[in-house]
Structure 1
Amino acid sequence: MRNTAKITTAVLAAGALTLGLGACGSGDSGSGSGSDGPLVVAASPAPHAEILTFVKDNLAKKEGLDLEVKEFTDYVTPNTATQDGSVGANYFQNKPYLDDFNKKNGTDIVPVVTVHLEPLGLYSNKVDKVEDLKSGATIAVPNDTVNEARALKLLSDNGLITLKEGVGNSATPADITKNPKNLKFKELEAAQTPRSLDDVDASVVNGNYALESDLKPSEDALVLESAKNNPYGNFLAVKRGNEDDPRVKKLAKLLTSPEVKKFIEDKYAGSVLASF
Protein backbone atom coordinates (compact mmCIF):
# COMPACT_ATOMS: atom_id res chain seq x y z
CA MET A 1 0.00 0.00 0.00
CA ARG A 2 2.85 2.36 0.86
CA ASN A 3 4.53 1.94 -2.55
CA THR A 4 1.23 2.20 -4.42
CA ALA A 5 0.31 5.38 -2.56
CA LYS A 6 3.70 6.91 -3.29
CA ILE A 7 3.49 6.08 -7.01
CA THR A 8 0.02 7.65 -7.12
CA THR A 9 1.31 10.72 -5.32
CA ALA A 10 4.18 11.05 -7.78
CA VAL A 11 1.79 10.93 -10.74
CA LEU A 12 -0.51 13.50 -9.16
CA ALA A 13 2.44 15.70 -8.26
CA ALA A 14 3.70 15.58 -11.85
CA GLY A 15 0.31 16.80 -13.03
CA ALA A 16 0.26 19.49 -10.37
CA LEU A 17 3.74 20.57 -11.46
CA THR A 18 2.59 21.04 -15.05
CA LEU A 19 -0.36 23.14 -13.91
CA GLY A 20 1.60 25.03 -11.30
CA LEU A 21 4.46 25.96 -13.60
CA GLY A 22 2.02 27.01 -16.28
CA ALA A 23 0.37 29.32 -13.77
CA CYS A 24 3.69 30.78 -12.67
CA GLY A 25 4.90 31.33 -16.22
CA SER A 26 8.42 31.14 -17.56
CA GLY A 27 9.51 34.70 -16.98
CA ASP A 28 12.03 35.97 -14.43
CA SER A 29 9.44 37.40 -12.02
CA GLY A 30 9.50 34.30 -9.85
CA SER A 31 13.22 33.74 -9.93
CA GLY A 32 15.09 34.24 -6.69
CA SER A 33 18.15 35.30 -8.69
CA GLY A 34 16.61 38.52 -9.97
CA SER A 35 15.29 41.35 -7.81
CA ASP A 36 13.43 43.57 -10.28
CA GLY A 37 10.08 41.78 -10.62
CA PRO A 38 7.62 40.54 -8.02
CA LEU A 39 8.66 37.83 -5.61
CA VAL A 40 6.47 34.81 -6.38
CA VAL A 41 6.02 32.53 -3.37
CA ALA A 42 4.56 29.02 -3.57
CA ALA A 43 2.41 28.19 -0.54
CA SER A 44 -0.17 25.79 0.84
CA PRO A 45 -3.62 27.48 0.90
CA ALA A 46 -4.00 27.52 4.70
CA PRO A 47 -2.48 28.96 6.74
CA HIS A 48 0.55 29.78 4.59
CA ALA A 49 -1.14 31.57 1.69
CA GLU A 50 -3.48 33.31 4.13
CA ILE A 51 -0.53 34.66 6.10
CA LEU A 52 1.26 35.74 2.92
CA THR A 53 -1.90 37.43 1.64
CA PHE A 54 -2.14 39.37 4.91
CA VAL A 55 1.45 40.52 4.37
CA LYS A 56 0.73 41.42 0.75
CA ASP A 57 -2.42 43.39 1.54
CA ASN A 58 -1.26 45.15 4.70
CA LEU A 59 2.53 45.32 4.99
CA ALA A 60 4.36 44.74 1.71
CA LYS A 61 3.69 48.09 0.06
CA LYS A 62 5.34 50.04 2.90
CA GLU A 63 8.48 47.93 2.49
CA GLY A 64 8.47 48.34 -1.29
CA LEU A 65 7.88 44.61 -1.78
CA ASP A 66 5.91 43.39 -4.79
CA LEU A 67 4.61 40.02 -3.60
CA GLU A 68 2.71 37.38 -5.55
CA VAL A 69 1.25 34.28 -3.87
CA LYS A 70 0.77 31.01 -5.76
CA GLU A 71 -1.21 28.27 -4.03
CA PHE A 72 -0.34 24.57 -4.32
CA THR A 73 -2.14 21.70 -2.64
CA ASP A 74 0.67 19.12 -2.63
CA TYR A 75 3.99 18.88 -0.80
CA VAL A 76 6.17 18.29 -3.89
CA THR A 77 5.52 21.02 -6.47
CA PRO A 78 6.45 24.00 -4.26
CA ASN A 79 9.98 22.62 -3.87
CA THR A 80 10.48 21.58 -7.48
CA ALA A 81 9.20 24.96 -8.66
CA THR A 82 11.56 26.74 -6.25
CA GLN A 83 14.47 24.61 -7.42
CA ASP A 84 13.92 25.37 -11.12
CA GLY A 85 13.25 29.09 -10.54
CA SER A 86 9.58 29.10 -11.55
CA VAL A 87 8.92 30.66 -8.14
CA GLY A 88 11.32 32.64 -6.02
CA ALA A 89 10.50 31.06 -2.66
CA ASN A 90 8.11 28.74 -0.89
CA TYR A 91 6.37 28.62 2.46
CA PHE A 92 4.77 25.31 3.46
CA GLN A 93 7.24 22.91 5.10
CA ASN A 94 9.39 22.03 8.11
CA LYS A 95 13.09 21.18 8.40
CA PRO A 96 12.86 17.38 8.71
CA TYR A 97 10.65 17.28 5.62
CA LEU A 98 12.97 19.57 3.64
CA ASP A 99 16.07 17.60 4.64
CA ASP A 100 14.42 14.38 3.46
CA PHE A 101 13.20 16.02 0.23
CA ASN A 102 16.62 17.48 -0.63
CA LYS A 103 18.30 14.13 0.00
CA LYS A 104 15.87 12.14 -2.13
CA ASN A 105 15.53 14.62 -4.99
CA GLY A 106 18.97 16.21 -5.25
CA THR A 107 17.50 19.66 -4.65
CA ASP A 108 19.32 22.51 -2.94
CA ILE A 109 16.66 24.38 -0.98
CA VAL A 110 17.39 26.09 2.34
CA PRO A 111 15.32 27.71 5.13
CA VAL A 112 15.32 31.47 5.52
CA VAL A 113 13.17 32.17 8.58
CA THR A 114 10.78 30.06 10.70
CA VAL A 115 7.31 31.57 11.01
CA HIS A 116 4.83 29.21 12.65
CA LEU A 117 3.95 25.74 13.89
CA GLU A 118 0.85 23.79 12.88
CA PRO A 119 0.34 21.11 15.53
CA LEU A 120 -0.36 17.68 14.03
CA GLY A 121 -3.59 16.19 15.35
CA LEU A 122 -5.56 12.95 15.56
CA TYR A 123 -9.18 13.42 14.46
CA SER A 124 -12.22 11.16 14.33
CA ASN A 125 -15.82 11.26 13.16
CA LYS A 126 -16.58 8.10 15.15
CA VAL A 127 -15.25 8.63 18.68
CA ASP A 128 -15.01 11.65 20.97
CA LYS A 129 -12.05 10.51 23.06
CA VAL A 130 -8.86 8.70 22.15
CA GLU A 131 -9.63 6.13 24.86
CA ASP A 132 -12.77 5.13 22.94
CA LEU A 133 -10.86 3.77 19.95
CA LYS A 134 -11.73 0.07 19.74
CA SER A 135 -9.39 -2.85 19.33
CA GLY A 136 -8.51 -3.28 15.66
CA ALA A 137 -9.37 0.33 14.79
CA THR A 138 -7.95 1.71 11.54
CA ILE A 139 -6.00 4.97 11.65
CA ALA A 140 -5.03 6.91 8.52
CA VAL A 141 -1.53 8.41 8.52
CA PRO A 142 0.39 10.49 5.93
CA ASN A 143 2.53 8.31 3.68
CA ASP A 144 5.54 10.60 3.18
CA THR A 145 8.53 9.61 5.30
CA VAL A 146 8.71 12.50 7.75
CA ASN A 147 5.00 13.08 8.30
CA GLU A 148 4.33 9.38 8.80
CA ALA A 149 7.06 9.24 11.45
CA ARG A 150 5.65 12.39 13.03
CA ALA A 151 2.16 10.84 13.08
CA LEU A 152 3.42 7.65 14.72
CA LYS A 153 5.31 9.70 17.32
CA LEU A 154 2.07 11.54 18.14
CA LEU A 155 0.34 8.19 18.72
CA SER A 156 3.30 6.95 20.76
CA ASP A 157 3.38 10.09 22.91
CA ASN A 158 -0.28 9.48 23.75
CA GLY A 159 0.13 5.84 24.73
CA LEU A 160 -1.54 4.20 21.74
CA ILE A 161 1.63 2.49 20.48
CA THR A 162 5.29 2.12 21.40
CA LEU A 163 8.03 2.74 18.83
CA LYS A 164 11.47 1.20 18.57
CA GLU A 165 14.05 3.49 20.20
CA GLY A 166 16.01 5.78 17.90
CA VAL A 167 13.82 5.52 14.79
CA GLY A 168 13.29 9.29 14.70
CA ASN A 169 12.04 10.77 11.41
CA SER A 170 12.15 7.45 9.57
CA ALA A 171 9.63 5.54 11.70
CA THR A 172 7.07 3.35 9.92
CA PRO A 173 4.45 0.95 11.25
CA ALA A 174 7.15 -1.75 11.02
CA ASP A 175 8.93 0.03 13.90
CA ILE A 176 6.01 -0.41 16.32
CA THR A 177 7.07 -2.66 19.18
CA LYS A 178 3.85 -2.52 21.21
CA ASN A 179 0.33 -2.11 19.85
CA PRO A 180 -2.08 -2.95 22.68
CA LYS A 181 -5.20 -2.03 20.68
CA ASN A 182 -3.97 -3.90 17.59
CA LEU A 183 -4.41 -0.72 15.58
CA LYS A 184 -4.25 -0.93 11.80
CA PHE A 185 -2.76 1.81 9.65
CA LYS A 186 -3.87 3.17 6.29
CA GLU A 187 -1.11 5.12 4.57
CA LEU A 188 -2.43 8.00 2.43
CA GLU A 189 -1.09 11.07 0.68
CA ALA A 190 -1.20 13.79 3.35
CA ALA A 191 -3.90 15.83 1.60
CA GLN A 192 -6.20 12.79 1.65
CA THR A 193 -6.09 12.19 5.41
CA PRO A 194 -8.95 14.56 6.37
CA ARG A 195 -11.05 13.21 3.50
CA SER A 196 -10.70 9.70 4.89
CA LEU A 197 -12.44 10.47 8.19
CA ASP A 198 -15.68 8.78 7.18
CA ASP A 199 -13.82 5.66 6.04
CA VAL A 200 -11.49 5.07 9.00
CA ASP A 201 -11.83 5.19 12.77
CA ALA A 202 -9.41 8.10 13.12
CA SER A 203 -6.93 10.03 11.01
CA VAL A 204 -3.72 11.92 11.74
CA VAL A 205 -3.94 15.20 9.83
CA ASN A 206 -1.37 17.90 9.17
CA GLY A 207 -2.40 21.32 10.48
CA ASN A 208 -2.74 23.01 7.10
CA TYR A 209 -4.98 20.25 5.73
CA ALA A 210 -7.05 20.31 8.92
CA LEU A 211 -7.67 24.04 8.51
CA GLU A 212 -8.53 23.62 4.82
CA SER A 213 -11.11 20.99 5.85
CA ASP A 214 -12.74 23.29 8.42
CA LEU A 215 -11.31 21.35 11.34
CA LYS A 216 -10.20 23.40 14.34
CA PRO A 217 -7.10 21.70 15.76
CA SER A 218 -7.35 23.40 19.15
CA GLU A 219 -10.97 22.19 19.52
CA ASP A 220 -11.53 19.16 17.29
CA ALA A 221 -8.39 17.06 17.72
CA LEU A 222 -8.57 14.03 20.02
CA VAL A 223 -4.89 14.60 20.74
CA LEU A 224 -2.66 17.40 19.51
CA GLU A 225 1.08 17.70 19.11
CA SER A 226 2.86 19.75 21.77
CA ALA A 227 4.56 22.97 20.69
CA LYS A 228 7.32 22.59 23.30
CA ASN A 229 10.72 21.80 21.74
CA ASN A 230 8.93 21.00 18.49
CA PRO A 231 11.23 20.74 15.42
CA TYR A 232 8.41 21.06 12.90
CA GLY A 233 8.11 24.83 12.56
CA ASN A 234 7.20 26.00 9.04
CA PHE A 235 9.50 28.43 7.28
CA LEU A 236 10.13 30.56 4.24
CA ALA A 237 12.58 28.70 1.96
CA VAL A 238 14.57 29.48 -1.18
CA LYS A 239 17.04 27.81 -3.50
CA ARG A 240 20.53 28.05 -2.00
CA GLY A 241 22.19 31.28 -3.11
CA ASN A 242 19.00 33.32 -3.07
CA GLU A 243 18.95 34.00 0.67
CA ASP A 244 20.35 37.52 0.10
CA ASP A 245 17.78 38.53 -2.50
CA PRO A 246 16.50 41.90 -1.18
CA ARG A 247 12.91 40.80 -1.80
CA VAL A 248 13.42 37.64 0.26
CA LYS A 249 14.97 39.65 3.09
CA LYS A 250 12.03 42.05 3.10
CA LEU A 251 9.53 39.19 3.20
CA ALA A 252 11.43 37.42 5.99
CA LYS A 253 11.30 40.61 8.05
CA LEU A 254 7.58 41.05 7.49
CA LEU A 255 6.72 37.41 8.21
CA THR A 256 8.27 37.75 11.66
CA SER A 257 6.77 41.13 12.47
CA PRO A 258 4.48 41.91 15.43
CA GLU A 259 1.65 42.47 12.96
CA VAL A 260 1.92 38.93 11.58
CA LYS A 261 2.16 37.47 15.06
CA LYS A 262 -1.07 39.23 16.05
CA PHE A 263 -2.74 38.08 12.81
CA ILE A 264 -1.83 34.46 13.56
CA GLU A 265 -3.04 34.70 17.16
CA ASP A 266 -6.32 36.40 16.23
CA LYS A 267 -7.21 34.32 13.18
CA TYR A 268 -6.19 30.84 14.30
CA ALA A 269 -6.82 30.98 18.07
CA GLY A 270 -4.22 28.39 19.00
CA SER A 271 -4.61 26.15 15.94
CA VAL A 272 -1.52 27.80 14.45
CA LEU A 273 1.26 29.05 16.72
CA ALA A 274 3.75 31.82 15.89
CA SER A 275 7.34 30.58 16.22
CA PHE A 276 9.01 33.95 16.77
Structure 2
Amino acid sequence: MRKKLALALTGVATLFALTACGGGNAAAPSASQSGDAAAPIVVKVGASPIPHAQILEYIDENLAAKAGIDLDITEIDDYQTPNIALADKTLDANFFQTQAYLDDQMKTKGYKFEPGAGVHVEPLTAFSKQFKDVASVTEGTTVLLNNDPVNQLRGLRVLETAGLLTGLEEGDSALTLTDNATKNPKKLTFQEVNSEQVPKFYQEDPKIGLAIINGNYIVAAKLNPEEIIAQEAAVNNPNANFLTWRAGEKTEGITKLEELLHSDEVRDYIKSTWTDGSVLPAF
Protein backbone atom coordinates (compact mmCIF):
# COMPACT_ATOMS: atom_id res chain seq x y z
CA MET A 1 0.00 0.00 0.00
CA ARG A 2 1.26 3.47 -0.89
CA LYS A 3 0.01 6.68 0.70
CA LYS A 4 1.20 10.25 1.11
CA LEU A 5 2.23 12.05 4.30
CA ALA A 6 2.74 15.81 4.14
CA LEU A 7 3.88 16.22 7.74
CA ALA A 8 4.68 13.81 10.57
CA LEU A 9 5.11 15.04 14.12
CA THR A 10 6.24 13.34 17.31
CA GLY A 11 3.23 11.56 18.71
CA VAL A 12 1.61 10.94 15.34
CA ALA A 13 2.01 7.22 15.94
CA THR A 14 -0.53 7.56 18.76
CA LEU A 15 -2.96 9.23 16.39
CA PHE A 16 -2.54 6.41 13.89
CA ALA A 17 -3.21 3.85 16.65
CA LEU A 18 -6.40 5.62 17.73
CA THR A 19 -7.81 6.02 14.23
CA ALA A 20 -6.79 2.72 12.64
CA CYS A 21 -9.44 0.03 12.17
CA GLY A 22 -12.19 2.28 13.54
CA GLY A 23 -10.56 2.43 16.98
CA GLY A 24 -10.87 -1.31 17.60
CA ASN A 25 -8.62 -3.30 19.91
CA ALA A 26 -7.14 -5.67 17.34
CA ALA A 27 -3.34 -5.45 17.20
CA ALA A 28 -1.94 -4.19 13.90
CA PRO A 29 0.77 -6.30 12.18
CA SER A 30 4.30 -5.08 12.87
CA ALA A 31 7.71 -5.54 11.30
CA SER A 32 8.80 -7.75 14.18
CA GLN A 33 6.38 -10.55 13.36
CA SER A 34 7.38 -13.66 11.43
CA GLY A 35 5.64 -13.89 8.09
CA ASP A 36 5.14 -15.88 4.92
CA ALA A 37 3.13 -15.41 1.72
CA ALA A 38 -0.10 -16.36 3.51
CA ALA A 39 0.49 -14.10 6.53
CA PRO A 40 3.11 -11.54 5.49
CA ILE A 41 5.03 -9.24 7.80
CA VAL A 42 3.87 -5.63 7.42
CA VAL A 43 6.81 -3.22 7.17
CA LYS A 44 5.97 0.48 7.48
CA VAL A 45 8.41 2.48 5.36
CA GLY A 46 8.58 6.24 4.76
CA ALA A 47 10.22 7.36 1.53
CA SER A 48 10.71 10.28 -0.84
CA PRO A 49 8.16 9.92 -3.68
CA ILE A 50 10.61 9.51 -6.57
CA PRO A 51 12.55 7.31 -6.93
CA HIS A 52 12.43 5.82 -3.42
CA ALA A 53 8.70 5.14 -3.04
CA GLN A 54 8.54 4.09 -6.67
CA ILE A 55 11.25 1.46 -6.10
CA LEU A 56 9.46 0.26 -2.96
CA GLU A 57 6.18 0.02 -4.85
CA TYR A 58 7.88 -2.14 -7.49
CA ILE A 59 9.11 -4.43 -4.72
CA ASP A 60 5.70 -4.53 -3.05
CA GLU A 61 3.92 -5.45 -6.29
CA ASN A 62 6.46 -7.92 -7.66
CA LEU A 63 8.78 -9.34 -5.00
CA ALA A 64 7.42 -8.80 -1.48
CA ALA A 65 4.74 -11.49 -1.30
CA LYS A 66 7.15 -14.28 -2.19
CA ALA A 67 9.54 -12.99 0.51
CA GLY A 68 6.74 -12.97 3.10
CA ILE A 69 6.46 -9.21 3.59
CA ASP A 70 3.88 -6.53 2.80
CA LEU A 71 5.08 -2.94 2.45
CA ASP A 72 3.03 -0.09 3.92
CA ILE A 73 4.64 2.79 2.01
CA THR A 74 4.26 6.43 3.05
CA GLU A 75 5.45 9.12 0.65
CA ILE A 76 7.11 12.08 2.38
CA ASP A 77 8.09 15.23 0.49
CA ASP A 78 10.61 16.76 2.90
CA TYR A 79 13.90 15.65 4.47
CA GLN A 80 13.04 16.11 8.16
CA THR A 81 9.78 14.18 8.57
CA PRO A 82 11.13 10.69 7.67
CA ASN A 83 13.59 10.66 10.58
CA ILE A 84 11.09 12.21 13.00
CA ALA A 85 8.58 9.48 12.11
CA LEU A 86 11.23 6.77 12.42
CA ALA A 87 12.33 8.02 15.83
CA ASP A 88 8.78 8.15 17.23
CA LYS A 89 8.06 4.65 15.82
CA THR A 90 5.41 5.75 13.36
CA LEU A 91 7.65 4.01 10.80
CA ASP A 92 9.70 0.81 10.97
CA ALA A 93 12.23 2.18 8.46
CA ASN A 94 12.78 5.00 6.01
CA PHE A 95 14.39 5.22 2.60
CA PHE A 96 15.59 8.65 1.45
CA GLN A 97 18.98 9.64 2.86
CA THR A 98 22.74 9.44 2.37
CA GLN A 99 25.45 8.62 4.90
CA ALA A 100 26.59 12.23 5.29
CA TYR A 101 23.02 13.40 5.90
CA LEU A 102 22.33 10.56 8.35
CA ASP A 103 25.54 11.30 10.27
CA ASP A 104 24.58 14.97 10.55
CA GLN A 105 21.03 14.14 11.67
CA MET A 106 22.25 11.71 14.34
CA LYS A 107 24.78 14.27 15.59
CA THR A 108 22.42 17.24 15.71
CA LYS A 109 19.14 15.51 16.62
CA GLY A 110 20.42 12.65 18.78
CA TYR A 111 18.83 9.91 16.67
CA LYS A 112 20.10 6.35 17.12
CA PHE A 113 19.70 4.78 13.68
CA GLU A 114 21.44 2.15 11.56
CA PRO A 115 21.84 2.24 7.76
CA GLY A 116 21.67 -0.49 5.20
CA ALA A 117 23.89 -0.76 2.14
CA GLY A 118 23.62 1.75 -0.71
CA VAL A 119 20.76 1.13 -3.12
CA HIS A 120 20.99 3.92 -5.65
CA VAL A 121 22.64 7.26 -6.41
CA GLU A 122 20.81 10.38 -7.58
CA PRO A 123 23.56 12.60 -8.97
CA LEU A 124 23.25 16.27 -8.03
CA THR A 125 22.92 18.23 -11.25
CA ALA A 126 23.53 21.84 -12.29
CA PHE A 127 20.79 23.25 -14.52
CA SER A 128 20.79 26.58 -16.33
CA LYS A 129 18.36 28.38 -18.63
CA GLN A 130 20.86 31.20 -19.21
CA PHE A 131 24.09 29.37 -20.05
CA LYS A 132 24.75 26.57 -22.50
CA ASP A 133 27.85 25.32 -20.66
CA VAL A 134 30.02 26.00 -17.61
CA ALA A 135 32.52 28.05 -19.60
CA SER A 136 29.86 30.64 -20.44
CA VAL A 137 28.80 31.28 -16.80
CA THR A 138 29.40 34.98 -16.13
CA GLU A 139 30.74 36.80 -13.09
CA GLY A 140 28.15 37.47 -10.37
CA THR A 141 25.71 34.78 -11.55
CA THR A 142 23.08 33.82 -8.97
CA VAL A 143 23.28 30.16 -7.98
CA LEU A 144 20.32 28.45 -6.29
CA LEU A 145 21.28 25.88 -3.65
CA ASN A 146 19.72 23.47 -1.18
CA ASN A 147 19.78 25.07 2.30
CA ASP A 148 20.61 21.77 4.03
CA PRO A 149 24.30 22.04 5.07
CA VAL A 150 25.29 18.51 4.04
CA ASN A 151 23.67 18.53 0.62
CA GLN A 152 24.69 22.15 0.07
CA LEU A 153 28.39 21.31 0.35
CA ARG A 154 27.80 18.35 -1.94
CA GLY A 155 26.22 20.75 -4.45
CA LEU A 156 29.09 23.22 -4.11
CA ARG A 157 31.48 20.39 -4.95
CA VAL A 158 29.63 19.93 -8.26
CA LEU A 159 30.54 23.55 -9.01
CA GLU A 160 34.12 22.92 -7.88
CA THR A 161 34.48 19.92 -10.19
CA ALA A 162 33.09 22.05 -13.02
CA GLY A 163 35.75 24.71 -12.34
CA LEU A 164 33.49 27.46 -10.98
CA LEU A 165 34.76 27.16 -7.39
CA THR A 166 38.11 26.03 -6.04
CA GLY A 167 39.73 24.75 -2.85
CA LEU A 168 36.54 23.82 -0.99
CA GLU A 169 36.86 22.46 2.56
CA GLU A 170 34.55 20.80 5.06
CA GLY A 171 32.33 23.48 6.54
CA ASP A 172 32.25 25.65 3.44
CA SER A 173 28.82 26.99 2.55
CA ALA A 174 27.10 29.67 0.50
CA LEU A 175 27.78 32.08 3.36
CA THR A 176 31.51 31.39 3.63
CA LEU A 177 32.01 31.62 -0.14
CA THR A 178 30.09 34.84 -0.78
CA ASP A 179 33.07 37.18 -0.26
CA ASN A 180 35.88 34.67 -0.74
CA ALA A 181 37.63 35.75 -3.94
CA THR A 182 40.07 32.83 -3.78
CA LYS A 183 37.53 30.04 -3.60
CA ASN A 184 34.85 31.91 -5.57
CA PRO A 185 36.78 33.66 -8.39
CA LYS A 186 33.65 34.40 -10.45
CA LYS A 187 32.02 36.13 -7.47
CA LEU A 188 28.97 33.92 -7.72
CA THR A 189 26.08 34.96 -5.50
CA PHE A 190 23.98 32.34 -3.73
CA GLN A 191 20.33 31.88 -2.89
CA GLU A 192 19.19 29.09 -0.55
CA VAL A 193 15.81 27.34 -0.28
CA ASN A 194 14.52 23.98 0.94
CA SER A 195 15.56 21.14 -1.36
CA GLU A 196 12.02 20.41 -2.54
CA GLN A 197 11.57 24.08 -3.55
CA VAL A 198 14.68 24.34 -5.74
CA PRO A 199 13.01 23.16 -8.99
CA LYS A 200 10.08 25.57 -8.53
CA PHE A 201 12.33 28.59 -7.90
CA TYR A 202 14.57 27.57 -10.80
CA GLN A 203 11.64 27.34 -13.19
CA GLU A 204 9.89 30.53 -12.06
CA ASP A 205 12.60 33.04 -11.07
CA PRO A 206 14.43 34.56 -14.07
CA LYS A 207 17.20 35.88 -11.81
CA ILE A 208 18.44 32.32 -11.16
CA GLY A 209 21.35 31.68 -13.48
CA LEU A 210 22.26 28.25 -12.17
CA ALA A 211 20.51 25.74 -9.89
CA ILE A 212 21.90 22.63 -8.19
CA ILE A 213 19.05 20.12 -7.95
CA ASN A 214 18.70 16.76 -6.19
CA GLY A 215 18.08 13.84 -8.53
CA ASN A 216 14.70 12.81 -7.13
CA TYR A 217 13.35 16.34 -7.59
CA ILE A 218 14.70 16.48 -11.14
CA VAL A 219 12.57 13.48 -12.04
CA ALA A 220 9.48 14.76 -10.26
CA ALA A 221 9.71 18.23 -11.85
CA LYS A 222 10.35 16.79 -15.33
CA LEU A 223 13.18 19.23 -15.98
CA ASN A 224 14.65 19.65 -19.44
CA PRO A 225 17.85 17.55 -19.72
CA GLU A 226 19.13 19.97 -22.37
CA GLU A 227 19.54 22.54 -19.56
CA ILE A 228 22.12 20.38 -17.72
CA ILE A 229 25.58 21.97 -17.68
CA ALA A 230 27.30 19.91 -14.93
CA GLN A 231 26.58 16.74 -12.98
CA GLU A 232 27.99 14.85 -10.02
CA ALA A 233 29.92 11.73 -11.02
CA ALA A 234 28.23 8.42 -10.22
CA VAL A 235 31.35 6.23 -10.08
CA ASN A 236 32.54 5.65 -6.48
CA ASN A 237 29.95 8.15 -5.28
CA PRO A 238 29.70 8.10 -1.44
CA ASN A 239 26.20 9.60 -1.57
CA ALA A 240 24.18 6.46 -2.22
CA ASN A 241 20.71 6.33 -0.67
CA PHE A 242 19.83 3.47 1.67
CA LEU A 243 17.24 1.96 3.99
CA THR A 244 17.49 3.17 7.61
CA TRP A 245 16.03 1.70 10.82
CA ARG A 246 16.30 2.27 14.57
CA ALA A 247 19.54 0.96 16.08
CA GLY A 248 19.17 -2.60 17.33
CA GLU A 249 15.80 -3.07 15.61
CA LYS A 250 16.69 -4.77 12.34
CA THR A 251 13.71 -7.10 12.36
CA GLU A 252 12.97 -10.01 10.06
CA GLY A 253 10.78 -7.80 7.90
CA ILE A 254 13.45 -5.14 7.55
CA THR A 255 16.08 -7.80 6.80
CA LYS A 256 13.95 -9.20 3.98
CA LEU A 257 13.30 -5.73 2.56
CA GLU A 258 17.02 -4.91 2.68
CA GLU A 259 17.73 -8.10 0.71
CA LEU A 260 15.10 -7.25 -1.91
CA LEU A 261 16.46 -3.71 -2.32
CA HIS A 262 19.74 -5.28 -3.43
CA SER A 263 18.28 -7.94 -5.71
CA ASP A 264 19.04 -8.34 -9.41
CA GLU A 265 15.41 -7.49 -10.13
CA VAL A 266 15.68 -4.09 -8.43
CA ARG A 267 18.99 -3.32 -10.15
CA ASP A 268 17.41 -4.07 -13.52
CA TYR A 269 14.31 -2.05 -12.62
CA ILE A 270 16.38 1.04 -11.78
CA LYS A 271 18.38 0.77 -15.01
CA SER A 272 15.32 0.30 -17.20
CA THR A 273 13.18 2.96 -15.51
CA TRP A 274 15.65 5.86 -15.32
CA THR A 275 17.38 5.53 -18.66
CA ASP A 276 18.44 9.21 -18.51
CA GLY A 277 20.96 8.45 -15.75
CA SER A 278 19.14 10.53 -13.12
CA VAL A 279 19.00 7.44 -10.88
CA LEU A 280 21.75 4.82 -10.92
CA PRO A 281 22.06 1.51 -9.02
CA ALA A 282 24.76 1.59 -6.33
CA PHE A 283 25.31 -2.18 -6.13
Paired amino acid for 2:216: N
Structure (1 or 2) with the larger CA radius of gyration:
2
Aligned to 1:108: 112
The equivalent of 2:242 in structure 1 is 235
Q: What is residue 158 of structure 1 aligned with on the other side?
A: 162
- Alignment root-mean-square deviation, CA: 2.4
Partner in structure 2 of residue 204 of structure 1: 212
**In the TM superposition, what are the counterparts of 1:21-36 in structure 2 within 5 Å?**
21=12, 25-26=16-17
The structure in which a higher percent of residues are helix is 1
**CA positional deviation for 1:161:** 1.0
* Aligned twin of 2:82: 78
Is 1:194 matched with 2:199?
yes
In the alignment, what sits opposite 1:16?
7
CA 114–180 in structure 1, closer or farther in 2 if over 3 Å, else same: same
What is the aligned partner in structure 1 of residue 147 from structure 2?
A: 143
Could you tell me how far apart the structure 2 residues matched to 1:23 and 1:75 are?
22
Cα distance in 2, alignment partners of residues 95 and 67 from structure 1: 24
Q: How many residues align?
A: 257
| Pairing of 1:206-221 with structure 2 (within 5 A) | 206-215=214-223, 220-221=227-228
Q: Which structure 1 segments of 5+ residues have no match?
A: 1-14
Q: Distance in 1 between matches of 2:15 and 2:221?
A: 26
Q: What TM-score results when the alignment is normalised by the length of structure 1?
A: 0.86
Distance, in Å, in 1 between the alignment partners of 2:50 and 2:227 is 17
| Distance in 1 between residues matched to 2:11 and 2:265, nearest whole Å | 30
Contact 1:31/1:87 (<8 A) preserved = no
CA distance in 2, matches of 1:23, 1:158: 48
The Cα shift of 1:145 comes to 1.0
Q: What SS does structure 1 have at the residue aligned with 2:139?
A: coil
* Runs (5+) with no aligned partner, structure 2: 1-5, 21-26, 36-40
In structure 2, how many angstroms separate the alpha carbons of the residues matched to 1:57 and 1:71?
A: 16
1:114 is displaced (CA, Å) by 1.4
Amino acid at match of 2:83: N
What per-residue deviation string (whole Å, max 9, x for no partner) do you get for residues 88-130 of structure 1? 0000000000000110001111102210000000012222222
How far, CA to CA, are the matches of 1:23 and 1:265 in structure 2?
Answer: 39
Query: Identity of counterpart residues, as a percentage?
Result: 38
Is the 8 Å Cα contact of residues 60 and 71 (structure 2) preserved in structure 1? yes
In structure 1, C-alpha distance between the alignment counterparts of 2:213 and 2:28, rounded to whole Å: 34
